[in-house]
Structure 1
């Protein structure tokens, strides 16, 4: 995997992957042109674990209809301002088994999500699962 970054203006940078995919990063506090690099890391964590959870639940033939993973992170007060604590909230919808969802989230965190595995070297990562449509089957 290869990537690079190009300075565009002010505090705006364009990240470019070897396949040509791009993302704009804006280190200015307004974030007018894109997320800050640290926000992008949180978004990558949410996306990485989402891919795992959806895939696992589909393989378990669970009728998942929605998933929203939110991250709330705390950073160190002084540079480097690494994440020290991250709480993930999984809001899952569909006709699901509680055990299947818990297993999928656990497998993502402990085995499959490479972003989570990297971040947990610096930060404590905890999670909760909520069911906006009501409690699932046991």
Structure 2
């Protein structure tokens, strides 16, 4: 078992809250004037898989020069308004082989990305597409 992750959300004013994870140096403003918790969840999925894909492609010794992950999510109309459909679009910069890019994304989505796994457990359908942009990122 791993150590538990501890954090705190504190009411700041009106409908604003400040969230911090105990071991991290950054904070996030939630609510009005900040990001909604559900949008933060969506960005967490994109950030988790982006980290994986870069790491995997580097371990494969692929010449990745940049990565962007666009994410969109559709939520249920009724409460709880969870995501039922999420789509990720990976934009990979560099002379990366298509089959290696696909493999890195599949490993992230099916094995490593804990955030994707968490939303899939709630029943969300997670799909992806990707493109490779040769010549690097300007």
**Common fold by TM > 0.5:** yes
**CA deviation profile, 1:47-95 (whole Å, cap 9, x unmatched):** 1001100000000000001100111100010211100000000011101
CA contact (8 A) 2:89 2:128 kept: yes
Say yes or no: does 1:54 pair with 2:57: no
Supply the distance in 1 between the matched residues of 2:42 and 2:84 (Cα, whole angstroms): 12
Q: Which runs of 5+ in 2 are unaligned?
A: none
> What 5-or-longer segments of structure 1 have no aligned partner?
none
The total of aligned residue pairs comes to 130
Contact 1:12–1:24, Cα closer than 8 Å, also in 2: no
Match of 1:21 in 2: 25
Relative to structure 1, the CA distance from residue 93 to residue 129 in structure 2 (aligned partners, 3 Å threshold; closer, same or farther) is: same
- Which residue matches 2:126? 125
Scaled by the length of structure 1, what TM-score is found? Answer: 0.88
Within the alignment, does 1:10 sit opposite 2:14 as a pair?
yes
SS of match in other structure, 1:120: helix
Do the aligned residues in 2 keep the contact of 1:5 with 1:16 (CA within 8 Å)?
A: yes
Does the Cα contact within 8 Å between 2:86 and 2:127 map onto a contact in 1? yes
Instruction: Note the 1:55-70 alignment, pairs <5 A.
Output: 55-70=55-70
User: Post-superposition shift, 1:6?
Assistant: 0.3
How has the CA–CA distance of structure 1 residues 95 and 127 changed in structure 2, closer, same or farther, with 3 Å as cutoff?
same
Task: State the superposition RMSD in angstroms.
Answer: 1.4
What SS does structure 1 have at the residue aligned with 2:78?
Answer: coil
4+ residue runs over 4 A deviation: none
Q: Which residue of 2 aligns with 1:101?
A: 101
